[in-house]
Amino acid sequence: MKKLILFFVTILLVGNSACNYVKKAPSPTEVFMSHYEAEKKSDLVILERNLSRDSLKLLKETAAKKNLDEKYLIENSLGISKSGLPEIRNEQIKGNTAAIETKNPFTGDWDKTPFVKEDGKWKIDLNKFIEDSLKRLNDKK
């Protein structure tokens, strides 16, 4: 009986230690900040890693139609590198979607940057960002 109890205690201790070493996936805010740094460094690998599959598909389709360089489109996907890292607030997570608010340096408005969880990691959802931006423009008319 002592051996059985010792076995379970060992399993619990090893399990808890292993959990402490598992790295937590970056939050939406951390992904946004990583994207900003990658834009400054023109790090295409990180930029692509931070965008959702649908966002990358949209950028590739746009690049093909407009004959623009894909790297240019991805580097300027959120236009944040030229104006510096904006203020960030109100990270909200709901299931597999999330959003943060970033202060637009040109208008002073708080824009929502949407995220989607893919393969357990937060990705910037440019499709939703564009959709929401177009809706706001139409609402102002």
The domain limits of the chain are 25-140
pTM: 0.70
Q: What is the 3-state secondary structure (H, E, C) of 92-139?
A: EEECCEEEEEEECCCCCCEEEEEEEEECCEEEECHHHHHHHHHHHHHH
Question: Helix or strand or coil: residue 140?
Answer: helix
- pLDDT score of 58: 84
- pLDDT score of 54: 92
- pLDDT score of 40: 81
- pLDDT score of 94: 96
Strand partners, 89: 101
Q: Which CATH architecture has domain 25-140?
A: Roll (3.10)
Nearest CA-CA partner of 55 in 141, 116, 103, 140: 116
Quick: pLDDT tens for 16-52: 444 444 568 889 999 999 988 888 888 888 888 999 9
Question: Do the beta carbons of residue 80 and residue 36 sit within 8 Å?
Answer: yes
- pLDDT score of 118: 95
Question: Do the beta carbons of residue 65 and residue 58 sit within 8 Å?
Answer: no
- pLDDT score of 1: 47
Lookup: tokens for 7 = 């076995």
- pLDDT score of 80: 54
- pLDDT score of 13: 45
- pLDDT score of 90: 92
- pLDDT score of 137: 74
Residues of the chain with pLDDT under 50: 1-21, 81
Lookup: tokens for 1 = 């009986």
